[in-house]
Amino acid sequence: MIGFALRRGIISGLPVWRCLQQHTTRTPNYTTHAQLLFHSQVSSVLMPSRLTSSKRLLSIKPISCPVSRLCHRDSQGISERGDTKDGFSLRALTQAPKPALYLGFSGLIPFLSAPLLMAATQSFYPEVAYAQLVYGASIVSFLGGARWGFAIPDGSPARPDWMNLGNSVVPSLLAWLALLCKDNFTEGAMVVIMGLGLSLHYDLTLLPGYPAWFKAMRTVLTLVATFSLVATLTLKKFCAEKKIKELQN
C-alpha cells in the first residue's frame, strides 16, 4: 500500500512539476513582451517630439547679411564716413591725398631737427630752442585759422557761430602768449603743447565734418610735435647750455 501510494504521489506529482517548469520558463517571455510593449509605447510618444524638433531645426533659416553692405560700410568707415561723429582709424592715412600727406609730414622737420641737433652735440642751444618754439606757435595759429576758414563757406557742416569761430581764435591767442615767453623756454613750450592739444581736441570732437584721413594725420602730427618739444625740454635739463654766437667767435 505504501509503495502504491508513493508511486501514485510521484506520478501525480509529475504534472505539478511540469506546470511549475512551464510557468518559470514562460515568465521571462511575459516580462520581455511587457518590456517590448513598454519601449514601443515610449518610443511612440517620444519620436513625434524628436521629429517635430528636428523639423523645427531644419525649418530655421540662417541669418544672412549682404556682403556688399558690410564692405560698403567698411569702406565708408575708412574713407567717407569721416564726415560723421563716429570714430576714426589710423588706417585712414592710406586714403589721404598725397600732397596733404607729404606736406603734413614734411612740416615735422623743424620740430625734429632742433632736438636732434642738440642731442648730437650734447648741448642745449637757446637760439635753436626758441626757433622751435616760434615754429610751434605758428603751427598752432595756423590750425586756428584753418578751423575759421572751414566754418565760413556756405554749405559747411560747421556753422559760423560763436562757438566755432571763438574756438578758432583761442589757438592764435595761445601762440601769441608763447612768443612772449622769449626768456623762458619752458613756459613757452608748455603753452605751445597746450595749444596743440587743444586744437586736436577741437578737430576730433567739437568741429564736425573733417574726413577721417585728416583726423588721423592730425593725431600723428600732433603727437610727434609734442614729443619733440618734450625732448627739447629734457635736453635743456640734462645738457650744458651753449650759445651759437659764442661758438662763432
| Greater model confidence, 42 or 146 | 146
The per-residue pLDDT for range 191-200, each reduced to its tens digit, is 999 999 999 9
Residue 190 pLDDT > 60: yes
Pick the CATH number of 91-248 from 1.20.140, 3.30.460, 1.10.287, 3.30.390: 1.20.140
- Residue 159 has a pLDDT of 81
The per-residue pLDDT for range 137-178, each reduced to its tens digit, is 999 999 988 888 888 888 877 788 888 888 889 999 999 999
Rounded to whole angstroms, how far apart are CA atoms 104 and 5? 130
pLDDT band for position 247 (50/70/90)? low
* 5, 26, 189 from 16: Cα distances, Å: 17, 15, 119
Q: How many CB atoms lie within 10 A of CB 139?
A: 22
| Whole-number percent of the chain with pLDDT over 90 | 41
The per-residue pLDDT for range 86-114, each reduced to its tens digit, is 456 778 888 899 999 999 999 999 999 99
The residues spanned by each domain of the chain are 91-248
* 27, 164, 177, 213 from 146: Cα distances, Å: 101, 11, 19, 16
89 and 212 Cβ atoms separated by less than 8 Å: yes
In this structure, of 30-39, 66-75, 193-202, the range with the lowest mean pLDDT score is: 66-75
Residue 10 pLDDT > 70: no
- Residue 41 has a pLDDT of 52
Q: What length is written for the chain?
A: 249
- Residue 164 has a pLDDT of 82
Rounded to whole angstroms, how far apart are CA atoms 124 and 106? 24
